[in-house]
Amino acid sequence: MESQLKKLINRLIRKDNAVADDTPSHVPTDEVIAIPSDEPVTYAQEERTHIPFTSALSSSHQRDVMGESKLSADAEAVIHAINSFAFRLFQQRQESAKSRCISPTSIVTALAMALAGARNETAAQMRQILSLPELSEARLIAAVGALQDSMIESAERCGLTYRVANSLWGQTGDAPRESYLRLVRDILGSKYELVDYQEAAVEAAGVINRWTSEQTRGRIPEIIDPEMLSPLTRLVLVNALYFKGAWMVPFDPGCSQEGDFFPAVGTEAVPVTYMQDTREVLYGEGTSMQIIELVYGVRKPQAVSGDDLRTPSEERSDGVLDGGELMVSEAPPSPSDHAMLFLLPRDLAQLADLEAALSEEAVADWRRSLVNREVQIFLPRFKTEESMELSDLLIEMGMALPFDDVQADFSGITGTLDPDRSLSISKVIHKTRVEVNEEGAEAAAATAILMALGCAPDSAPPPPPPVFRADHPFLYMIIQRSSGQVIFLGRMNDPSR
């Protein structure tokens, strides 16, 4: 009996510690990737449009939230920078007819690697624009590294896949300062490799692209075009981020149906496939928009105990356990610390106002107003890819100095103020890919937290569930629930493309 118990415990441990990357390809619900290279960012403060948002239910029905974030003040400051960056960049030079997607977490991570080597006015400008306190280079990189590690550990604990990889690609014969390399290598785990931009730019781009593709499971096969490189290129910084999660309760593909989606006022409808279900989710509504928060799920093994010990292979053919055995089974799913928010304006004319109202404070307030409620959901399947060169956009937002090839000061990277060896940022390249569909790991139930926190009197019939029909452009975010960190932020204008 003791040996059987040991075998069972070992099986439980192996299954519980299984790496999320081993999840079969048919399991995920949502896949997302994003990558930038040499990064900086900036924006001018703008007045925010206020959109009143009232909860669909009373405040006594507030939702359960994940445990409070236990991050350092430095790490919290980096989260603030990531979220501020997300909304400011998203609101800059909008193209309302086009779908958009960015990963502020990916961009700011790469930006932090550049900021760690910036000095004097260049560093001060970058910190000011990101609303970062005046941290030393070591404290900044330590905070970014702590967030990176925390996110990876949280995802693995919840059965999700969250992969982050950083790299520096230097010019052969012109290596960066050793103290700078130690900082980004030791704390961020950044890969450092020399390539030849002067004599073999095509080969250099190929090496960087192969690394990027590998880190993103082939979803971003190319981040650098050889034509972007020149004999003056000395360093390329790349951050690769890959996220994959399964809905706590997957949508049934058998319930998905074709329907019309209306991309813009005055345009013809396009056919899309709608995932649909009626279920309890975190929900809120106001006069101008609706929000739902779909949570990714945690699935862990559990033991069913009895008088005897048996393995799953000793189960009776009819699926009933003989004599009350102990066996391994999959527990009902419970919510993870990651979720996807969908923000749907009541009509197309309100999308611009909704985007203008985005801010860290507004999103936090909206999320606090969400309650558990049964909702009839119609959500289109979609896949979107975007490639952006952000340099001009960032300069317009106010960050000109890091791009100035005369005045930029990255002497923390070069170790010298010699103008012949000075560095400036020439390009900021960012690519993303997001896919949302019905699929997810099979779950027996989704009742752990998706329960009403209150109910109507018996004498009154329950109100009909609200309808969340995303048949026109909407916004979406992938977030960490406990910290509020925005990992991806996008606008879906046309799921048919």
Instruction: Note the pLDDT tens digit of each residue in 155-191.
Output: 888 888 888 888 888 888 888 889 998 988 888 888 8
Domain boundaries, the chain: 33-48+72-246+384-435
Mean pLDDT, residues 198-204: 90
pLDDT tier, 388 (very low <50, low <70, confident <90, very high otherwise): confident
The rounded distance, in Å, linking the Cα atoms of 296 and 487 is 14
Task: Supply the pLDDT for residue 94.
Answer: 63
Half-sphere exposure (Cβ direction) of 394: Cα atoms closer than 13 Å = 30
Q: Which residues neighbour 130 within 8 Å (Cβ) at sequence distance 6 or greater?
A: 41, 42, 81, 84, 85, 108, 111
The token pair that represents 407 in the structure block: 């005045």
Mean pLDDT, residues 47-73: 45
Helical (H) or strand (E) element with 78: helix 73-91
Beta bridge partners of 100: 491
Within its chain, how far is the Cα of 141 from the centroid?
20
Helix axes 360-368 and 73-91, enclosed angle (nearest 10)? 100
Compare 204 and 443 and report the one with higher pLDDT.
204
In 3-state terms, what secondary structure has residue 407?
coil
The rounded distance, in Å, linking the Cα atoms of 35 and 220 is 8
In 3-state terms, what secondary structure has residue 469?
strand
Instruction: Note the pLDDT tens digit of each residue in 89-127.
Output: 888 866 656 788 888 888 888 888 899 999 999 998 888
Write the single-letter amino acid at 146.
A
As a whole number, the mean pLDDT across the chain is: 74
The token pair that represents 329 in the structure block: 């089974």
The rounded distance, in Å, linking the Cα atoms of 376 and 331 is 26
Does pLDDT of 253 surpass 60? Answer: yes
Beta bridge partners of 235: 170
In 3-state terms, what secondary structure has residue 144?
helix
Q: Which residues neighbour 251 within 8 Å (Cβ) at sequence distance 6 or greater?
A: 275, 276, 277, 379, 437, 438, 440
Backbone φ and ψ for 3, nearest 5 degrees, come out as -65, -35
Within its chain, how far is the Cα of 266 from the centroid?
33
What pTM value is reported for the model?
Answer: 0.77
The rounded distance, in Å, linking the Cα atoms of 421 and 419 is 5
Domain 33-48+72-246+384-435 classification at class level = alpha beta
Task: Supply the pLDDT for residue 341.
Answer: 93
Does pLDDT of 307 surpass 70? Answer: no
- Using an 8 Å Cβ cutoff, are 248 and 334 in contact? yes
Task: Supply the pLDDT for residue 281.
Answer: 92
